[in-house]
Amino acid sequence: MSLLDLTGRVALVTGGGTRLGAAIVRALAAAGCDVVIHYATSVAGARAVGADVERLGRRATLIQADLTVRADLDRLAAEALAATGRIDVLVHSAANFERVPTDALTAEAWDRALALNTTAPYLLTLALAPALRAVRGSVVAITCLSATRPWKNYLPYTVSKVALTGLVHSLALGLAPEVRVNAVAPGTVLPPDDYDAAALERIRARTPLQRLGEAGDVARAVVFLAQNDYLTGQTIAADGGRLLAD
């Protein structure tokens, strides 16, 4: 069976105005999707990405929402459906990536990570589940290699991504057969500014493919999962083979 044609379908991408989310929006638009671009504070980025979508001949809809606020999650779902009439692909890209050394751990750091990285995908998927079922749609979550091997100084973040991976598996069972739910676990892609050159070189040297990842590597994996209608409950590690070597 050939891959699904995404032309004319509608994708909603959280965190779509910056970094990895922006690359995913562009890739889905290039594959034929109209895209709802969610943003929290990056309005300029969302507008720029929306203009790129429209240059590709697709429709862009921008919606601002704080995904840690339940009312905003419900509003995002309602406004996206009102604007487009359907959601075929839901991508959970928005994330909290906060470095917290063990001696600085707080309840607030835990709450911030879980709220955005796990609770928001759970609630937004539930809010859009009827619409996704109606079109036999799919959900793709951006998880992390740390869900397999924990990272030092990222405890709340790591736990939130472990929980998100469990959510992907559970929703894949719960929403089948109408809705597929999968994940992409990136390697080192768009590293934070505080990663120095030596640290990045150590990561590159440990990666079998001998290069750091690019946003496009992850975005192409997201598109593939949206197109392959016999995959659910799966995680693609877009990591250049790093899990094999760490």
Closest by CA to 42, choosing from 64, 61, 23, 24, is 64
Provide the CATH number for the domain around residue 21: 3.40.50.720
Closest by CA to 237, choosing from 196, 194, 184, 195, is 184
Residue 207 pLDDT: 84
Output the CA–CA distances (angstroms, integers) from residue 95 to 20, 22, 69, 148, in the order listed. Answer: 10, 13, 14, 18
Domain span holding position 88: 10-245
Tokens at residue 38, please? 């969610």
Looking at the domain assignment, is residue 209 inside a domain?
yes
DSSP 146: G
Q: How many CA atoms lie within 13 A of 190 on its CB side?
A: 13
Residue 206 pLDDT: 85
Looking at the domain assignment, is residue 3 inside a domain?
no
Radius of gyration of the chain (CA): 17
Distance of CA 4 to the CA centre of its chain: 20
d(CA 198, CA 46): 32
Residue 18 pLDDT: 95
Residue 1 pLDDT: 61
Looking at the domain assignment, is residue 5 inside a domain?
no
Closest by CA to 245, choosing from 185, 202, 216, is 202
Looking at the domain assignment, is residue 26 inside a domain?
yes
Looking at the domain assignment, is residue 2 inside a domain?
no
Query: Choosing from 39, 122, 154, 157, which is the catalytic residue?
Result: 157
Whether 39 sits among the annotated catalytic residues: the reply is no
pTM of the predicted model as reported, rounded to 2 decimal places: 0.95
d(CA 111, CA 100): 13
Angle at 115 between CA 78 and CA 200, to 5 degrees: 115
pLDDT in 10s for each residue of the chain, 246 residues:
689 999 999 999 999 999 999 999 999 999 999 999 999 999 999 999 999 999 999 999 999 999 999 999 999 999 999 999 999 999 999 999 999 999 999 999 999 999 999 999 999 999 999 999 999 999 999 999 989 988 889 999 999 999 999 999 999 999 999 999 999 999 887 777 777 888 888 888 888 888 888 999 999 999 999 999 999 999 999 988 888 886
For residue 173, give the 3-state DSSP assignment. helix
Report the domain count for the chain.
1
Residues 6+ apart with CB under 8 A from 94: 14, 15, 21, 38, 40, 67, 116, 120
Looking at the domain assignment, is residue 1 inside a domain?
no
